[in-house]
Amino acid sequence: MKYCKTCVMPESKPGIVLDELGRCNACVTSIEKKKVDWENRWNELKLFSENAKRLSGQKYDCIVPVSGGKDSWFQTLIMAKELGLKVLCVSLGAHMPTEEGIFNLNKMIDDLDIDIIKIMLKPSSYRKIRKKCFLKQGEPNWAEHCAMFSCVLNVALLYEVPLIAWGEDIAYEFGGLQTNKSTPSAITINKNDLIKSKSIQDWLDNDISPRDTFFYTYPDYEKLEKANIKSIYLGHFIPWYGRRHYDIVKKRGFLERKKGPLSGNHLDYDNIDEKLCEINIWFKYIKFGFWRSTDQCCYDIWNDHLTREKAVEIVNNLSKQFPEEYFKDFLNFHMITEEQFWETVEKFRNQDVWEEVKGEWVLKFPLT
């Protein structure tokens, strides 16, 4: 297993390919992004906005999916204030929000003075679907990602909103399976690397009823086209960088994590709005040998904010930490025992990435 020569991404990540110079596709993307005519792209975004205003009449022009994080605050700021659209925020309510997550979402709504719809999924079925995704796929947050994409599109259809503004295209920005080209359209977001060609239908059983899956079901593409709904990635039109978004929204009241970065994290303002995602992300360490600090350091390298040498030091120091802060919450929410948890970990441990040395699991190919 090799690592990218210019960032610290391992080639074990699905979709990552190293070129003849040893650079990963996400590094190549970051070089391409520096050559983009962003003024031109901004003008393209203005056209999408004007078209949405023309189509919406007296209703909402645009939906921005929000979580209470720095990126969604930035997205709403752009669409509502910079482009002057009548925005409806749609939030998939976290079942275990953090104090900072609740504060930041409320603060954002107050700061930007905006309407919001919060969708809370029925707890019993949400818990069952998450648990099944965890035990069978080592990926409990699949349920949340699926519901996020689907509920937003369903709300757009119900309220006849012509435009949806997502953040970045993860496959393009981070190197992924779906595409290596930046495109404005996010209409196939339900097929991205977080979803992996699965649908909610794949998880149904005697315990999970189809009657409870409305917000997990992505509408037909045909229906969306007929309704003239455009779904776009703002990252295609604006150079995307979380640290810059953080700097902007911090001035407007965004709060970073009070107790500092979570275990395994390099940043104190990234993914801090809910408690159930940390274990999901940590499973990447078991499956691919990297997790949060690699993602966070790579982003900083791509944006010339961190050297590779320093990133190696940070990643080697932080990756070994276990996300203990919300571990008990995770077990309680899914009603699984600690024993069941560690059995699942071993089921998904990638033997190409890990080896046992003197009774301890270590990475076969450490980052250097």
Stretch that binds Zn ion, among 19-27, 77-85, 88-96, 136-144 (CB under 5 A): 19-27
Looking at the Cβ atoms of 237 and 302, the one nearer to Zn ion is 302
Interface residue with Zn ion, options 4, 83, 92, 367 (CB under 5 A): 4
**Any contact of residue 24 with Zn ion (CB under 5 A)?**
yes
State the Cα–Cα distance between residues 334 and 132, nearest whole angstrom: 9
- Specify whether the CB–CB gap between 7 and 27 falls below 8 A: yes
- Specify whether the CB–CB gap between 364 and 10 falls below 8 A: no
**Any contact of residue 112 with Zn ion (CB under 5 A)?**
no
Looking at the Cβ atoms of 203 and 241, the one nearer to Zn ion is 241
**Any contact of residue 164 with Zn ion (CB under 5 A)?**
no
Near Zn ion in 26-55, by CB under 5 A:
27
Near Zn ion in 327-366, by CB under 5 A:
none
Nearest to 25 by CA among 143, 128, 178: 178
- 357 sits in which H/E element: strand 354-357
Stretch that binds Zn ion, among 17-25, 57-65, 278-286, 347-355 (CB under 5 A): 17-25
State the Cα–Cα distance between residues 168 and 237, nearest whole angstrom: 10
Looking at the Cβ atoms of 110 and 313, the one nearer to Zn ion is 313
Stretch that binds Zn ion, among 3-11, 53-61, 195-203, 211-219 (CB under 5 A): 3-11
Stretch that binds Zn ion, among 1-9, 59-67, 69-77, 289-297 (CB under 5 A): 1-9
State the Cα–Cα distance between residues 368 and 363, nearest whole angstrom: 12
Q: How many residues bind Zn ion (CB under 5 A)?
A: 5
Interface residue with Zn ion, options 3, 7, 279, 300 (CB under 5 A): 7
Task: Name residue 91's beta-bridge partners.
Answer: 66, 118
State the Cα–Cα distance between residues 110 and 113, nearest whole angstrom: 5
Amino acid of residue 304:
D
Looking at the Cβ atoms of 24 and 156, the one nearer to Zn ion is 24
State the Cα–Cα distance between residues 262 and 266, nearest whole angstrom: 8
φ, ψ of residue 126 to 5 degrees: the values are -60, -45
Stretch that binds Zn ion, among 24-32, 86-94, 260-268, 282-290 (CB under 5 A): 24-32
State the Cα–Cα distance between residues 247 and 70, nearest whole angstrom: 9
State the Cα–Cα distance between residues 99 and 256, nearest whole angstrom: 11
- 134 sits in which H/E element: helix 123-137
Question: Whole-number minimum distance, CB 300 to Zn ion, in Å?
Answer: 12
**Any contact of residue 143 with Zn ion (CB under 5 A)?**
no
Question: Whole-number minimum distance, CB 30 to Zn ion, in Å?
Answer: 8
Looking at the Cβ atoms of 29 and 154, the one nearer to Zn ion is 29
**Any contact of residue 367 with Zn ion (CB under 5 A)?**
no
Looking at the Cβ atoms of 9 and 165, the one nearer to Zn ion is 9
Count helices and strands (H / E) in the chain.
14, 7
State the Cα–Cα distance between residues 291 and 281, nearest whole angstrom: 6
Looking at the Cβ atoms of 59 and 305, the one nearer to Zn ion is 305
Which residues of the chain form contacts with Zn ion (CB under 5 A)? 4, 7, 9, 24, 27
